[in-house]
Amino acid sequence: MANALSFKNIHSQLWPQEVAQKSLIMCDTGKDDAVMLCCADTHDNKLNINSIVTYGGNVSAMRTCNNTQFILSKINADKNVSFHELSEASDNDASHVHGASGLGGYSVDEVDSIASTMKKSQVNYDQLANELIHSNSVNNVISTGPLTGMPHLFNAIVKQCGGNTQMLQAALSKLRVVIMGGAMDHANGNKGKAEFNFYLDSKAANQSFKFINKHAVNTILVPLDLTHQCVFKPEDFKSIEGDRTSKEEVFYDLFKKHTPARGLEPAHDVHTITALSNPEMYEGRFEQVRVSPKDGRVFKGNGDSSVFVLSKLDSEAFKMNLLDSLK
């Protein structure tokens, strides 16, 4: 197996200059998505988050939309939020893990008392594709939930390019896709299980990576093998035991108060943001990723790839960076 490469070096090769960015977030807001949204807002001056689309995953698509609006209201962030109503993943959620609301200790009534007053709309993929095609920026597509919407977005881009190959290449060259999902253990020959985001809508995960591989779309994959290298323990919360900012409050409420009894909790989805803001924390390698449409397991293909799989992490630096991002 090839040695891990510095993601900072790869990042600077792919994006050699500090260019303008625009970001679309696709999520299924549960506890770690919520903290991801807090960190994304901290870096919004660079990420420039235009839209957030919610999907059925941790809980139903409408519930994750409410959760997103609730978290954004708590941190005073005003963003355009839409939902994908016909989410294939919504019948097989993780409410047994994350609670009825999907946000641990925040009750359904508490969430809905805020979110019910806020405007909601169904996602318009044609509009999102049009914005991406005509953007002069690097377009981040950040996914922390099931990949239900990714094929819809890719198909909308292809449709709007109307068979113009140069136009399609130009549009796709501006994409920087960041996906939290997958478990590389199985791809490395171990009998690992599929990761939640991939197996919940394995058909969409399969279609997404087929498109990514076919068109060489620049993609950063954050698998479970990476996120499990850093867990938060009770002692990690000592610095925010007193007065807390609104973002620290969200993190404390969801991770300190409502973690499993063992007190160990990875912040899976936050890595999609820190990989962009602090690439020096990570190492990895280019892998051709294929996903089974039956169960979401990851397999390695042969040949060149545009998918950079993160595999190593500076755990302590990540913890410090996350806590700093919440101040």
Query: Which residue matches tokens 């005073």?
Result: 76
Give the other-Cβ count within 10 Å of 295's Cβ.
12
Domains of the chain: 5-53+124-325 (3.90.245.10)
Query: Which residue matches tokens 């891990």?
Result: 4
* pLDDT tens digits, one per residue of 191-222: 566 788 998 999 999 999 999 999 999 999 99
**Does residue 128 register a pLDDT over 50?**
yes
> In a 3-state reduction of DSSP, which class is residue 121?
coil
Tell me how far apart the terminal alpha carbons of the chain are, to the nearest angstrom. 40
- Alpha carbon dihedral 187, 190, 196, 197, in 10-degree steps, equals -10
pTM over 0.75: yes
Q: Enter the tokens of residue 107.
A: 């009750």
* 327 vs 322: CA distance, rounded Å: 9
* pLDDT tens digits, one per residue of 44-84: 999 999 999 999 886 888 889 999 999 999 999 999 999 99
**Which element (helix H / strand E) includes 175?**
strand 175-180
Sheet holding 80-83, edge to edge: 5-6, 282-286, 307-313, 219-222, 175-180, 138-143, 21-27, 49-54, 80-83
**Does residue 90 register a pLDDT over 50?**
no
Q: For residue 84, give the amino acid letter.
A: H
* 71 vs 74: CA distance, rounded Å: 5
